Amino acid sequence: MKQIVLLLVIGFAIVGCSGVKPAADQNLVILGGKLEALGMSTFQYGTHILNSGATTYALKSSKVDLKTYAGKNVVVKGLKVAGYPVDGGPELIDVQEVSNP
């Protein structure tokens, strides 16, 4: 009897987990605008900023050399970093890809 209950619990656990989507999909963003090096700012995170209309985003990346795109209009694809914005600063985006519009 204990074995049957144990098998049922394991079976339900496997079935319940199969429909879970990766959390990264919820944080995926695609943004366009002018990418610039981060100068002096009131916030202390990110290495670059993206000015997209009236909104500014802080950027960081370990996959893309953002210096290459400084001063250019680009489209960035990245993930929102949890825990940001901080102290009234902008959203922080971990850039995965950069392309020209």
- C-beta separation of 57 from 49 below 8 A: yes
Q: How confident is the model at residue 27 (pLDDT cuts 50, 70, 90)?
A: confident
Q: Which domains does the chain have, with CATH numbers?
A: 22-99 (2.40.50.140)
Q: Strand 55-60 relative to strand 92-99: parallel, antiparallel, unpaired?
A: parallel
From the CB of residue 61, how many other CB atoms can be counted at a distance below 10 Å? Answer: 18
Continuous H helices in the chain: 2-17
From the CB of residue 92, how many other CB atoms can be counted at a distance below 10 Å? Answer: 21
Tell me: the pLDDT tens digits for 49-87? 999 989 999 999 999 999 999 999 999 999 999 999 998
Of the two residues 101 and 6, the one the predictor is more confident about is 101
- Whether the bond between 90 and the residue before it is cis, its omega within 30 degrees of 0, is no
Q: What is the mean pLDDT of residues 27-40?
A: 94
Instruction: With a cut of 70, say whether residue 94 has pLDDT above it.
Output: yes
